[in-house]
Structure 1
Amino acid sequence: MPSEYNAGAERRGRSREKLATLVKTRTETLSLYSELANHQPFEGDEVTREALQDFCQALIDYAASAHFQLYRYISDKLERRTPVIEVAGSIYPRIAQTTDMILRFNDKYEGVDLMQCDGEILECLAADLSSLGETLAERIQLEDQVISAMAGQVH
């Protein structure tokens, strides 16, 4: 019995660690999103270019963290609680869609030199960033459902 209890406590400790890592990368990404959005209207300057590159890197780190810290943990059957598995399974297709949108944004802007581009790219950046903000908000709501389930707050 004590070894079963220790194994369960160890698994819960790992899940808390993974959630803390996810929340940390998510917070960093949102902070950089806000910093980039504050540069609007966008200009082809070095400060905006650096803010965009920093944000793109954080965005990919966040998407990877969510995948490896949370969903892979569940898909590798390291999570045993049925409510968590059910919540994760029901929202994963929508999470995958948000990941695709994140990757498209990154692919479009990661290597762009704003100092060498035309005004059309800068206008697209503003619209794409707004759309991405909505995507991130949806993703966070979905992730929070899994986090709540892992914390035992499933209704």
Structure 2
Amino acid sequence: MLNRLESLTQRVGGSNELVDQWLQARKQLLIAYCALVGIKPNKEKHTPLNEKALDNFCYHLVDYLSAGHFHIYGKIIKQVEGSTSPKMALTTKFYPKLQANTESVMAFHDRFSEIEFDKNMRQELNQALSEVGEVLASRFALEDQLIQLAAETWQQGNPDAANTGTVQHPA
């Protein structure tokens, strides 16, 4: 997921400040996830789970989901072409899928935030982490489509951006 994020960041980074902030928040969420499951980038060794890492992941998870739903999605859609554009109809197809995804991710949060670890919960948490990782991967795929749609629209609005690598959008 981090590699895919890096690729997306290289393609659309700098096209829009809001998108850049969104991708940075995603990176922080993925780093927290990797720390929680014990994955160290570029290392083969896994570290054990710990409560601090779980709290950190849950914090970033809620922060990321909230930013998407209450701040980013609507602004991106309006910046693309406005709330009455034909593209708005296309982007509204994403929202129900993202909402269902959010409910699934929040079920993880509600189950595992502010709990005390015991040996019996480790197996349940490991299974839930695997499942939430898959759910986040499908969420990121949906969000990537929305970001790509926005980046293409901004680039069409500024043909010189293709040559400079930056895309300007209307304020």
TM-score by length of 2: 0.68
C-alpha contact (below 8 Å) 2:80/2:150 kept by paired residues: no
1:80 aligned partner: 81
Are 2:133 and 1:121 equivalent residues in the alignment? Answer: no
1:62 equivalent in structure 2: 64
Q: Name the aligned partner's letter for residue 27 of structure 1.
A: K
> What's the CA shift for 1:20?
1.5
Equivalent position of 2:107 in the other structure: 104
Q: Which secondary structure state, in structure 2, belongs to the residue aligned with residue 151 of structure 1?
A: helix
**Which structure has the highest helix share of the two?**
1
User: Does the C-alpha gap of structure 1 residues 38 and 105 become closer, same or farther in structure 2, counting only changes over 3 Å?
Assistant: same
| Paired residues of 2:76 and 2:150 also in contact (CA < 8 A) | no
| Number of residue pairs aligned between Structure 1 and Structure 2 | 131
Question: Is 1:145 aligned to 2:148, yes or no?
Answer: no
- Cα distance in 2, alignment partners of residues 148 and 83 from structure 1: 16
1:50 aligned residue: 52
Extract unaligned runs of 5+ from structure 2.
1-14, 40-45, 154-171
**Unaligned segments of structure 1, at least 5 residues:** 1-14
Contact 1:42 1:126 in 2 (8 A): no
Counting aligned pairs with the same residue, the percent is 29
**Which structure carries more relative contact order (alpha carbon 8 Å, separation 6+)?**
1
Change (3 A) 1:74 1:147: closer
Question: How far, CA to CA, are the matches of 2:102 and 2:126 in structure 1?
Answer: 20
Aligned counterparts of 2:101 and 2:148: Cα–Cα separation in 1: 20
Deviation, 1:83, is 5.6
How many angstroms apart in 1 are the aligned matches of 2:106 and 2:97? 14
Which residue of 2 is the match for residue 9 of structure 1?
A: none
Corresponding letter in the other structure for 1:98:
N
What RMSD in Å do the two structures reach over aligned CA positions? 2.3
Residues 107-140 of structure 1: CA deviation (Å, up to 9, x unaligned): 11110122xx3x2321110000000000000000
Q: 1:81-118 deviations in whole A, cap 9, x for unaligned?
A: 5364233211111101111112111111110122xx3x
Q: Which stretch shows the higher mean deviation, 77-86 or 65-74?
A: 77-86
